[in-house]
């Protein structure tokens, strides 16, 4: 079995050497230069097609507190779709968010039950 393998290997090696020697320029391009050029193209593709980011970090904009922006005239609706079994519960998050609400804001805060339950 090993003798058959080496005989076929040597025949294939000689055939490839003859083909490479006969068409050396085409094989040099096809097997060496085109793959290297393709790799370089793929490496620089983000530079070719991406727009340059010239905006930087920008200016600082304050984030307004919800208790100052939410007046309670319209409902603030939220849903807990985690079946109340998460490490951080949605109810805990809403308790933290609405900690400084006044009575009108608390009355406008509505929890909707999940449609899956």
Q: What is the pLDDT of residue 115?
A: 65
Which alpha helices (DSSP H) does 1-117 contain, by range?
2-22, 24-28, 34-49, 66-69, 90-97, 103-108
Q: Is residue 24 part of a domain?
A: yes
pTM of the model: 0.45
108, 70: one domain: yes
Q: Is residue 42 part of a domain?
A: yes
Q: Is residue 57 part of a domain?
A: no
Q: How many domains does the chain have?
A: 2
| Residues β-bridged to residue 79 | 112
Ordered mean pLDDT values, 10 residues apiece, the chain (117 residues) = 92 88 85 91 83 77 90 90 79 90 92 72
Q: Is residue 60 part of a domain?
A: no
DSSP, res 88: S
Q: What is the extent of the structural domain holding 85?
A: 66-112
């Amino acid at each position: 079995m090993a003798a058959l393998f080496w005989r076929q290997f040597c025949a294939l090696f000689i055939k490839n050497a003859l083909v490479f020697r006969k068409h050396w320029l085409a094989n040099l391009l096809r097997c060496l230069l085109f793959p290297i050029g393709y790799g370089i193209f793929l490496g620089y593709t983000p530079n070719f097609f991406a727009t340059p980011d010239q905006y930087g970090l920008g200016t600082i904009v304050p984030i307004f507190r919800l208790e100052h922006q939410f007046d309670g005239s319209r409902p603030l609706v939220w849903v807990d779709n985690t079946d109340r079994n998460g490490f951080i519960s949605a109810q805990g998050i809403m308790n933290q968010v609405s900690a400084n609400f006044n009575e009108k804001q608390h009355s406008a805060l509505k929890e909707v039950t999940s449609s899956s339950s």
